[in-house]
Amino acid sequence: TGHRPNKLGCYSSQVFNRLVDLCISELQTINPQSVISGFALGFDMALAQAAINLKIPLLAYVPFEGQEKMWPKQSQLYYKELLSKAEKVRVCCNGGYSTDSMQRRNICMVDDANFLLALFDSTPGGTANCIMYAESEIHGGRMDLVIKNVWNRWEKMEQS
Protein backbone atom coordinates (compact mmCIF):
# COMPACT_ATOMS: atom_id res chain seq x y z
CA THR A 1 0.00 0.00 0.00
CA GLY A 2 1.21 3.48 -0.68
CA HIS A 3 0.49 7.01 -1.71
CA ARG A 4 -0.87 8.42 -4.92
CA PRO A 5 1.21 10.77 -7.09
CA ASN A 6 -0.09 13.93 -5.38
CA LYS A 7 1.73 12.93 -2.15
CA LEU A 8 4.84 11.76 -4.00
CA GLY A 9 5.82 14.89 -5.87
CA CYS A 10 3.86 14.65 -9.12
CA TYR A 11 2.78 12.40 -11.98
CA SER A 12 6.12 12.62 -13.86
CA SER A 13 7.77 9.59 -15.40
CA GLN A 14 10.93 10.46 -13.46
CA VAL A 15 9.12 10.13 -10.12
CA PHE A 16 7.41 6.94 -11.28
CA ASN A 17 10.72 5.40 -12.38
CA ARG A 18 12.25 6.15 -8.97
CA LEU A 19 9.23 4.46 -7.36
CA VAL A 20 9.74 1.39 -9.54
CA ASP A 21 13.44 1.33 -8.60
CA LEU A 22 12.53 1.52 -4.91
CA CYS A 23 10.02 -1.32 -5.30
CA ILE A 24 12.48 -3.48 -7.23
CA SER A 25 15.09 -3.04 -4.51
CA GLU A 26 12.60 -3.90 -1.76
CA LEU A 27 11.17 -6.90 -3.61
CA GLN A 28 14.66 -8.27 -4.21
CA THR A 29 15.25 -8.07 -0.45
CA ILE A 30 11.89 -9.57 0.51
CA ASN A 31 11.92 -12.23 -2.25
CA PRO A 32 8.14 -12.85 -2.20
CA GLN A 33 6.36 -15.75 -3.91
CA SER A 34 3.84 -13.27 -5.33
CA VAL A 35 2.93 -9.59 -5.11
CA ILE A 36 -0.52 -8.16 -4.41
CA SER A 37 -1.13 -4.67 -5.76
CA GLY A 38 -4.21 -2.48 -5.29
CA PHE A 39 -3.59 -1.04 -8.77
CA ALA A 40 -4.08 2.59 -7.78
CA LEU A 41 -2.05 5.38 -9.35
CA GLY A 42 1.34 5.96 -7.75
CA PHE A 43 2.98 3.41 -5.49
CA ASP A 44 0.57 0.56 -6.29
CA MET A 45 1.26 0.69 -10.01
CA ALA A 46 5.00 1.08 -9.45
CA LEU A 47 4.92 -2.04 -7.28
CA ALA A 48 3.01 -3.88 -10.00
CA GLN A 49 5.59 -2.81 -12.59
CA ALA A 50 8.44 -3.90 -10.32
CA ALA A 51 6.85 -7.35 -9.88
CA ILE A 52 6.50 -7.69 -13.65
CA ASN A 53 10.12 -6.59 -14.17
CA LEU A 54 11.30 -9.20 -11.66
CA LYS A 55 8.96 -11.90 -13.05
CA ILE A 56 7.19 -12.29 -9.70
CA PRO A 57 3.57 -13.42 -10.06
CA LEU A 58 1.34 -10.35 -9.80
CA LEU A 59 -2.09 -10.39 -8.17
CA ALA A 60 -4.27 -7.37 -8.97
CA TYR A 61 -6.79 -6.43 -6.27
CA VAL A 62 -8.97 -3.73 -7.77
CA PRO A 63 -11.64 -2.06 -5.65
CA PHE A 64 -14.32 -2.07 -8.38
CA GLU A 65 -14.68 -2.45 -12.15
CA GLY A 66 -13.71 0.76 -13.91
CA GLN A 67 -11.61 2.29 -11.14
CA GLU A 68 -9.44 3.87 -13.85
CA LYS A 69 -12.21 5.65 -15.79
CA MET A 70 -11.58 9.09 -14.25
CA TRP A 71 -7.80 8.94 -14.70
CA PRO A 72 -5.82 10.61 -17.48
CA LYS A 73 -6.00 8.62 -20.75
CA GLN A 74 -2.31 7.61 -20.62
CA SER A 75 -2.77 6.26 -17.07
CA GLN A 76 -5.85 4.31 -18.18
CA LEU A 77 -3.89 2.65 -20.99
CA TYR A 78 -0.99 1.80 -18.69
CA TYR A 79 -3.41 0.39 -16.08
CA LYS A 80 -4.95 -1.92 -18.69
CA GLU A 81 -1.50 -3.00 -19.87
CA LEU A 82 -0.40 -3.86 -16.32
CA LEU A 83 -3.71 -5.56 -15.56
CA SER A 84 -3.28 -7.79 -18.61
CA LYS A 85 0.01 -9.04 -17.13
CA ALA A 86 -1.47 -9.97 -13.75
CA GLU A 87 -1.68 -13.66 -12.96
CA LYS A 88 -4.97 -13.06 -11.14
CA VAL A 89 -7.42 -10.14 -11.03
CA ARG A 90 -9.71 -9.87 -8.02
CA VAL A 91 -12.48 -7.28 -8.07
CA CYS A 92 -13.21 -6.62 -4.40
CA CYS A 93 -16.58 -4.80 -4.65
CA ASN A 94 -19.54 -4.47 -6.95
CA GLY A 95 -20.63 -1.01 -8.00
CA GLY A 96 -18.53 2.10 -8.43
CA TYR A 97 -16.33 4.35 -6.36
CA SER A 98 -16.90 4.77 -2.65
CA THR A 99 -14.58 5.05 0.32
CA ASP A 100 -16.01 1.70 1.41
CA SER A 101 -14.97 -0.01 -1.84
CA MET A 102 -11.45 1.34 -1.46
CA GLN A 103 -11.21 0.13 2.15
CA ARG A 104 -12.74 -3.24 1.22
CA ARG A 105 -9.91 -3.62 -1.31
CA ASN A 106 -7.39 -2.75 1.43
CA ILE A 107 -8.91 -5.37 3.74
CA CYS A 108 -8.80 -8.04 1.03
CA MET A 109 -5.13 -7.27 0.34
CA VAL A 110 -4.12 -7.36 4.00
CA ASP A 111 -6.14 -10.51 4.71
CA ASP A 112 -4.37 -12.33 1.87
CA ALA A 113 -0.85 -11.07 2.67
CA ASN A 114 1.84 -11.95 5.17
CA PHE A 115 4.04 -8.94 4.39
CA LEU A 116 2.87 -5.37 3.82
CA LEU A 117 5.25 -3.09 1.96
CA ALA A 118 4.13 0.48 2.55
CA LEU A 119 5.06 3.92 1.31
CA PHE A 120 3.35 5.95 4.01
CA ASP A 121 4.09 9.50 5.22
CA SER A 122 1.73 9.32 8.25
CA THR A 123 -0.94 11.59 6.74
CA PRO A 124 -4.64 10.65 6.75
CA GLY A 125 -6.13 8.86 3.74
CA GLY A 126 -6.50 5.47 2.14
CA THR A 127 -2.94 4.36 2.84
CA ALA A 128 -3.37 5.29 6.51
CA ASN A 129 -6.61 3.29 6.61
CA CYS A 130 -4.87 0.25 5.16
CA ILE A 131 -2.00 0.51 7.65
CA MET A 132 -4.44 0.92 10.57
CA TYR A 133 -6.33 -2.18 9.49
CA ALA A 134 -3.10 -4.17 9.17
CA GLU A 135 -1.95 -3.02 12.62
CA SER A 136 -5.31 -4.01 14.10
CA GLU A 137 -4.85 -7.48 12.64
CA ILE A 138 -1.41 -7.76 14.25
CA HIS A 139 -2.72 -6.50 17.61
CA GLY A 140 -5.64 -8.90 17.23
CA GLY A 141 -3.21 -11.81 17.30
CA ARG A 142 -2.19 -12.20 13.68
CA MET A 143 1.53 -12.62 14.16
CA ASP A 144 2.32 -13.69 10.58
CA LEU A 145 1.87 -10.16 9.19
CA VAL A 146 4.91 -7.90 8.86
CA ILE A 147 4.66 -4.21 7.94
CA LYS A 148 7.62 -2.38 6.42
CA ASN A 149 7.28 1.33 5.69
CA VAL A 150 9.86 2.65 3.22
CA TRP A 151 8.91 6.34 3.44
CA ASN A 152 12.26 7.41 4.92
CA ARG A 153 14.10 5.62 2.14
CA TRP A 154 11.86 7.31 -0.44
CA GLU A 155 12.59 10.76 1.02
CA LYS A 156 16.33 10.10 0.77
CA MET A 157 15.92 9.04 -2.87
CA GLU A 158 13.98 12.24 -3.59
CA GLN A 159 16.77 14.39 -2.10
CA SER A 160 19.55 12.79 -4.12
From first to last of its 160 residues, the chain has per-residue pLDDT tens of 999 988 887 778 888 999 999 999 999 999 999 999 999 999 999 999 999 999 999 999 999 999 999 999 999 999 999 999 999 999 999 988 898 999 999 999 999 999 999 999 999 999 999 999 999 999 888 889 999 999 999 999 877 6
Question: What are the beta bridge partners of residue 117?
Answer: 148
Contact of 130 with 106, CB cutoff 8 Å: yes
State residue 95's pLDDT score. 87
Q: What is the pTM of this model?
A: 0.94
Strand segments, DSSP code E, in the chain are: 35-37, 58-62, 88-91, 115-118, 146-149
State residue 29's pLDDT score. 97
